[in-house]
Structure 1
Amino acid sequence: MADLRDDLDPGTAVDELGDLPDPFPGKPYEGVTGAEEDADTDLLARAHALLATHPVADGYSGLPWALRRLPWFDLELGESAVDTDVPRMREGHVGALFWALHLPEGLAGDRAVGATLEQLDLVKTVVRAHPEGLRLADAPGPITDVRHSGRVAVLPGPAGAAALGDSLGILRSLHGLGLRALTLSGVSWASEAGLTRFGEEVLREMNRLGVLADLSGASEDTVRRALAVSKAPVVCARSAARALRPHPANLPDDLLAELGAAGGLCMVPLTAEQTGPSVRDVADHLDHVREVAGTQCVGLSGTYDAGAAHPQDLTDASCYPHLAAELLRRGWPEADIALLTWGNVQRVLRGADFTAREAQRRRAPSTMKIAELDG
C-alpha cells in the first residue's frame, strides 16, 4: 500500500434548527470608524448570528487527499498545512462537510477501488482521532444531532465512479463503509456519450442505497439522462454558472433550470477558477443560480484542500461569514441564506433517504453485470 501512496501523489495545487447556543463562535469583526466600516461591521455581525443558527453544510472538501501527504497533523488544535481544521470550521460556522474521495486521473480497475478504500479508511481514522471536533454522520437526523453536540458532521464522498470497478457489489460495499455520494463521470458507462444501460442500473442501485448522484463534470447527456432516471434528488457538488464563467464543470442556464425543476442542488465552489477572484464574484454566481434554478437549488462547496486557488476573503474554512455578509448586503432574505447554507442539503439528504426506503421495499439488490447490459 505504501507503493500505492507514492504512485498517487496528487501534484500541486430551510431546515430550521431553532435558537441554539452557538458552539462555533466566530471572531469579533475588527472594524474601524466611519459609516461604511460600521455598516460592514453590522453585516458581518448579522452573518455570524445567522450562521450560528443555520451553519454551513459544505459540499466538497479535498481534506482526505491533503492529509495523506502529512506525516503528522492535529485538526482539533489547528493545522496550518491545510485550509481546513476544527478551529477554522468553528470560526466559519461549518456544521457538516462532505469529504471527497476523488482520485487522480488515470486510475482504474483494482487500483481505483483500492485507493478509494484507503481514503475511506483514512477518513474514519481521522474522525476517530478527533472526537471533540468531528463525528461521522450519513443522514439528516444524525447530522443535526452532531451539530447539536458541537461537532462537525463528516460525510464521506463524493467518490469517483472508477471506484466501483464496474461492480454493483462494490458499490454496496462502499455504501456499507459510509460512502454518501458518487460522481457519475470518467467511466465507460458514464461518459461524454451519456449513461449506458449499465450506468442507469448503477443510478437505480444508488437510489436504492441512498447514495447521492454527483453530476459535476459529467457530460450534458449524462446530466439529462440522470435527471430523467433518478428518483432521488441529484447534486452538482462543484458547479457554478457557465453564463458568468465558461468553466467546463459549470452549468449552462438550461441545465440549471432543469436541475432546479427536478429538485436537485447546485453547490457553487469557492474557487477563483470557477467563480472568480473575489467574494463578490462568488455572490454573482449565487445570485445567478438562485434566479435561474430557484432558491432551493443553490448550495455551497468550499472546495478547500483540493488544490484550487480561492477568492480573496474566502481563503479557508473560516471565511463563510464574509460571503454571508455580502449576500445580506445584496438584500438576500435570511431565510434564503439559511436554505443556501443548511436547509437545501438537508432537503436533498432527506429526499435520498426517503427514496431509498421506498426502493428497498420494491427492489432487491441488483445483480446485473456490465457485460449483460452494455456488452
Structure 2
Amino acid sequence: MADLQDELHDPPEVCELPVPLAGPYVPDPGPHPEPDPGADALERAHVLLAGHPVADGYSGLPRALRQLPWYDLQLGESAVDTDVPRLRRGHVGALFCSLHLPDGLAAGRAVGATLEELDLARTVIAAHPEGMSLARTAGQVLDARNCGRVAVVLGPATAAALDDSLAVLRVLHSLGLRVLTLAGTSWASEAGLTRFGEEVVREMNRLGVLADLSGASDATIGRALALSRTPVLCTRSAARALSPHPDNLPDRLLTELGAAKGVCMVPLTAEQTGPALRDVADHLDHVRAVAGPDCVGLSGTFDSGAAHPQGLADASAYPHLVAELLRRGWTETDLALLTWGNVQRVLRTADFVARAAQERREASTARITDLDA
C-alpha cells in the first residue's frame, strides 16, 4: 500500500538577532550565569508542539466524569486529569476517548453498555463546543485543530460490543466509533482470529474502523497485521524488553508492527513504563529504535484509573516529555511524527482504504454461526 503520509517539514527556525555594529567599549559587569539547557529544551518543545500537537491515543475522561455531580471542562475541572485548559497547555490536538467496558459487566450487557459509553462521550463533547469537536475522519481532525478545538475520536471500544454481529459494528460506526480492540471474544482470542474474526477485520477496513491490538494475543496480532489493509494501532503498549507487562510488545512484534506501518502508542502509566518521566522516554527510545520513527505514538491514559509517572500527572505535561526527548537527541522531524504525524497518517490511510473498499465490496452479511461452526 502506498504510504499516504505528507512530508513533514521542520518548523521554521527563529531568526537570529542581527549582530550589532561596533560601538564604544563597555566593561564586562562580571560572571554570567550558565544558561539552563533544560529551560531551552522546554521552550523548544512548546514551539514544536504548537505546530505538531499531540494525538493522545487513550483517555478515560467520559467515564471519570460520570462520577461527578457537576463539571465544567471549559473553565477547568480539578476532579479529573483532563480539561480544556490543561489540554491546551499540553498542546493536545486530538484525543481518543475509550469506550471500554467495566470489569464484571453482566452477560448480555456489552452492546447496551457500549452505547451508553458512546452517548456519554458525545454528550461531553456537545457540552463543550468551544473546546472540543467530534471527529470521524482525518479531515475533521485537522478542521478541529485549525479551529482551536481538540478533535475527539470515539474509541477504542471492546470487541465484545459487537455481540458477534457485523451489523452492530456498522451501527456503532454510524454513531462515530473509529477504533475497536480485537481481544476478549471467541473470534479474537489466545488462539488468534477465527474465520469470523478475519471477516470482522475486512469489514472494519471497509468502514474505516481502526484495529487496536493492545491486549490482544500474539497470534491475533500477527494475523491482524497480515490481513488488515489499513495500518493498526496499539493504543496502550510499550516495550516488553524494558517492562514485562502483558500488554507491552516484544521486539519481534514491534518489528512486524513497524513493517506494517502501524503505530505503537506508548502509555504514560507507571505500571507499564515505570515510575518516572525518563522511564517513559526510555520506552519511546526503544520503540523508535526497534520499529522505526514511523511506528511510535503517545497514549496519556489519563482518567483511566492508572497511576502515572512522576512529572506526567495530567494532560498538560506533554511539553516536559518532549523536552526530555529533545535533550536525548530526537530530531524535530521524528518528534513531529511521534506527536501528530503518525496517527494522522493512519487515519488518512484508513479513510482512503475505506473509500476504495466501498466501491468494490458490499457490506458483509456473514454470521459467526456460518463461519465458525
Q: Does the residue aligned with 1:71 lie in a helix, a strand or coil?
A: coil
Distance 1:192 1:221 in 2: 7
Compute the displacement of 1:172 (Å). Answer: 0.1
Give the C-alpha shift of residue 105 in structure 1. Answer: 2.9
Matched with 2:16 is none
Q: Match for residue 276 of structure 1? A: 274
**Structure-2 residue corresponding to 1:312:** 310
**Secondary structure, counterpart of 1:300 in structure 2:** strand
* Structure 2 counterpart SS, 1:318: helix
What corresponds to 1:162 in structure 2? Answer: 160
One-letter code of the match for 1:247?
H
- How far 1:104 sits from its partner (Å)? 1.8
Distance 2:85 2:312 in 1: 16
Does 2:371 match 1:373?
A: yes
Shift of 1:108: 6.5
Instruction: Please list every run of 5 or more consecutive structure 1 residues that lacks an aligned counterpart in the other structure.
Output: 1-13, 21-32
Specify the alignment match of 1:96 in structure 2. Answer: 94
Hey, what does 1:4 align to over in structure 2? none
Which residue of structure 1 lines up, in the alignment, with residue 34 of structure 2? 35
Structure 2 CA distance for aligned equivalents of residues 310 and 35 of structure 1 = 32
Is residue 2:338 matched to residue 1:340? yes
Q: Deviations over 1:340-362 (max 9, x none)?
A: 00000000001111111111111
Aligned position for 1:291 = 289
Q: Is the 8 A contact 1:16 1:54 kept in 2?
A: no
Q: Deviations over 1:297-320 (max 9, x none)?
A: 000000000010001110000000
In 1, are the aligned partners of 2:94 and 2:141 still within 8 Å (CA)? yes
Distance in 2 (alpha carbons) for counterparts of 1:106 and 1:227 = 30
Question: Percent identity over the alignment?
Answer: 72
1:144 equivalent in alignment to 2:142: yes
Query: What TM-score, normalized to structure 1?
Result: 0.91
User: 1:84 aligned to 2:76?
Assistant: no
Q: 2:110 aligns with which of 86, 109, 112?
A: 112
Instruction: Return the match for 2:207 from 202, 209, 216.
Output: 209
Rate the CA distance shift 1:158–1:15 in 2: closer, same or farther, 3 A. Answer: farther
Identify the residue that residue 241 of structure 2 maps to in structure 1: 243
CA contact (8 A) 1:108 1:165 kept: no
Aligned length: 349
Q: CA RMSD in A?
A: 1.6
User: What TM-score do the two structures reach when normalised by structure 2?
Assistant: 0.91
Distance in 1, matches of 2:183 and 2:311, equals: 32
Name the SS for the 1:153 alignment partner. Answer: strand
Paired residue secondary structure (1:319): helix
| Distance in structure 2 (CA, Å) of the matches to 1:277 and 1:75 | 28
Give the letter for the 1:113 counterpart: V
Quick check: which has more Rg, 1 or 2? Answer: 2
Q: Kindly indicate whether the alpha-carbon contact (under 8 Å) linking 2:181 and 2:211 is maintained by their aligned counterparts in 1.
A: yes
For residues 172-200 of structure 1, the C-alpha deviation after alignment (integer angstroms, 9 at most, x for no partner) is 00000000000000111101111111100
Deviates more, 1:88-97 or 1:68-77: 68-77
Shift of 1:110: 3.5
Instruction: Determine if contact 2:10/2:333 at 8 Å carries over to the other structure.
Output: no
Q: Is the 8 A contact 1:263 1:296 kept in 2?
A: yes
Q: Which residue of 2 aligns with 1:45?
A: 43
1:215-257: CA deviation from partner (whole Å, max 9, x where unpaired): 0000000000001111100010000000000000000000000
Which amino acid counterpart does residue 223 of structure 2 have in structure 1? R
In the alignment, structure 1 residue 302 sits paired with structure 2 residue 288:
no
CA 268–228 in structure 1, closer or farther in 2 if over 3 Å, else same: same
2:85 is matched by which residue type in structure 1? P
Residue 179 of structure 1 corresponds to: 177
Q: 1-side partners of 2:141 and 2:52: how far apart?
A: 13
Q: Is the 8 A contact 1:18 1:53 kept in 2?
A: no
Structure 2 CA distance for partners of 1:153 and 1:15, relative to 1, 3 Å: farther
Match of 1:255 in 2: 253
Partners in 2 of 1:293 and 1:18 — Cα distance?
A: 22
Secondary structure at the counterpart of residue 126 of structure 2: helix
Matched residue type, 2:238: A
Worse-superposed segment, 316-325 or 65-74: 65-74
Q: Take 1:308 and 1:184, find their aligned partners in 2: how far apart are those partners?
A: 21
User: In the aligned structure 1, how far is the partner of 2:33 from the partner of 2:303?
Assistant: 36
The CA deviation at 1:16 is 4.5
Residues 15, 339 of structure 1: 8 Å contact kept: no
Residue pair 1:108, 1:162 contacting (<8 A) in 2 also: no
C-alpha distance after superposition, 1:238-290 (max 9, x if no partner): 00000000000000000000000011110000000000111110010000000
Structure 2 residue identity aligned to 1:347:
R
Partner-residue secondary structure (3-state), 1:226: helix
**Aligned-pair distance for 1:123?**
1.0
* Structure 1 counterpart of 2:121, from 107, 123, 127: 123
For the residue of structure 2 that corresponds to 1:77, the secondary structure is coil
Match of 1:193 in 2: 191
What residue identity is the alignment partner of 2:214?
S
